Amino acid sequence: MLAAAETDAIISGNRYLAFQVPESEGEACGRTFEDAFLLANPSAEGLTLTGDIKQDEVRVRDAVDGLKKSNFALRFAVDEVGWKTPRYIQRGLDWLLGSPPGHEAAAETPGETGVVVR
């Protein structure tokens, strides 16, 4: 299934199924958001990846064991900067930016706050 995820996006109308994929071919793959996040940003928890898929998956899993999901997500959403978006999330965001079928691209006009809304 991971091999298919690399080449075949699962799209149905205006739905795109995003799930964890390795950051690069032949690397470890996370099972959760936290796993995937640390595989994309190992230094965020002081990890060093070895390149051994099984060892890296276990190392990351051990690092997130016991962490509160909400605290982890908020830490990187609010407090931390300079992190890399996990690949599976970036792929979904790229798809959204490509204007999913049935959604016309919005004109780039500033809203009431002066922010361009797309």
Give the Cα separation of 30 and 114 in Å (integer): 39
Enter the pTM of the model.
0.75
What pLDDT shows up at residue 82? 94
Quote the strand ranges of the chain, DSSP E: 10-12, 15-17, 109-110, 116-117
What is the rounded CA–CA span in Å between residue 89 and residue 108?
Answer: 24
Q: What are phi and psi of 15, to 5 degrees?
A: -120, 135
Cα–Cα dist 118/110, whole Å: 9
Number of structural domains the chain divides into: 1
Tell me how many degrees the CA angle 20-71-91 measures, rounded to the nearest 5. 25
SS (HEC) of 26-52:
CCCCCCCHHHHHHHHCHHHHCCCCCCC
Full pLDDT tens readout for the chain, 118 residues:
556 566 667 777 888 888 889 999 899 999 999 999 999 999 999 999 999 999 999 999 999 999 999 999 999 999 999 999 999 999 889 888 886 555 554 444 445 555 444 4
Note down the domain range covering 37.
2-117
Mean pLDDT score of the chain, rounded to an integer? 83
pLDDT tens track for 40-69: 999 999 999 999 999 999 999 999 999 999
